[in-house]
Structure 1
């Protein structure tokens, strides 16, 4: 890859209501390469596009996403959108599908941090039916979900997201070996935890490094100088502007 790709994180959460169709429509007007979003499961396992395991922060509903059937969830409104409904994965896929951008999908866990049974496979089947599976980067912090996505196959990339404690407890070599063991092709970390040593250890084995949390000029610049493969940002216009003049050390 010649340059760091930009992913509009939650559609561009600094600028538009996160994980909303409004945000995704706005993000599609900018020349980023990917749109990042999150998926939880409804009571019957439908893939619901929302970041939190609960509804309270971003919608006019309350309680766990998984406690409510899709028929009720789709009547909820996303705050700040002027009345738009909580999106289903099929709606987001249909919106992004005709564009040149790719889907960067994070499969989340339930309120007890447990993977949702069958959610990875359900997402895979839906995306496959729309011809979008090869344009989807599948991600999760949950190791079982990463391994399940890798076993399904057909996705553009499989990303193991590593939180701060796990990152601090492991060497770059440890992370490479676990990434390979899970069948992932990319490790994602917070931008402040990304290092040249981790980048180089991954690249030596044909693996990729991505970051999230690159939301201001300093962290965007850091990610660009490291030459990470993908940076997910809440401010895609700023990242696009800074990338124009960046000369990464890669």
Structure 2
């Protein structure tokens, strides 16, 4: 029985400021297998580690990331970190790289909802050899298709929006993954079930969930036997996984 991998979502957003080097340093101290984070492109194409397409919610700045060069973005500080600046992918990779944990990177779309042109290639250049330890995720099929063409990633994850997933048959979910070269489907924990898990497994694909942030949803994901559980509370998920119950895989 293989282990259900735990990913510290945004570094563990319940406990530390999301997508900060502070959070990632804490996350690396726990027995999780992956550190999850998000990237957007600056105006000059630098991969910036931040969830939103704008600076407004998590920093002392405002406006879209894509309207600023990296030299401008890096001057802004993240709220709650005691003065840490917005990190780049290069800084994040340098921090996680020496650890045994995998990089779980979601490539986001811009404020207009469109993928950043040529951004996957730029991310691979920054990652270098760490690409082989990187799980690349996206809600954008075009982004995943570009990554599949480049090759060399640990896994490629198609992230499915929750409302459309409720209307899809498991066979349709498999087809979505196949269409863009994804090796894993990521869904909100509330829509994951045995039928979806089994259809993916029978097709040689993996199932991951996000939104497993409290005891009840973590227990549901563990009992379902997903491949990866992304959580904002990694210490809780790690403790529950270690609780002695054998979960099916």
* TM, length-normalised to structure 2: 0.98
- What do you get for the CA RMSD once the two structures are aligned? 0.9
SS in structure 1 at match of 2:242: helix
Q: Deviations over 1:68-124 (max 9, x none)?
A: 110100000000000001000000000000001010000000112110111111101
Is structure 2 residue 70 aligned with structure 1 residue 70?
yes
Give the unaligned 5+ runs of structure 1: none
Q: Which of residues 186, 189, 197 is equivalent to 1:188?
A: 186
Instruction: State the match for 1:151 in structure 2.
Output: 149
Instruction: State the match for 1:249 in structure 2.
Output: 248
Q: Distance in 1 between matches of 2:81 and 2:95?
A: 16
Q: Where do residues 143-182 of structure 1 align in structure 2 (5 Å cutoff)?
A: 143-182=141-180
Give the unaligned 5+ runs of structure 2: none
Q: Distance in 2 between matches of 1:75 and 1:66?
A: 15
Q: Distance in 1 between matches of 2:170 and 2:62?
A: 40
| 1:176 shift after superposition | 0.3
SS in structure 2 at match of 1:192: helix
Q: Distance in 2 between matches of 1:107 and 1:169?
A: 25
| 1:146 shift after superposition | 1.0
SS in structure 2 at match of 1:132: helix
Q: Deviations over 1:209-237 (max 9, x none)?
A: 00000000000000000000000000000
Q: Deviations over 1:154-189 (max 9, x none)?
A: 000000000112212311001101201211100000
* TM, length-normalised to structure 1: 0.98
Instruction: State the match for 2:14 in structure 1.
Output: 14
Q: Where do residues 69-148 of structure 1 align in structure 2 (5 Å cutoff)?
A: 69-128=69-128, 131-148=129-146
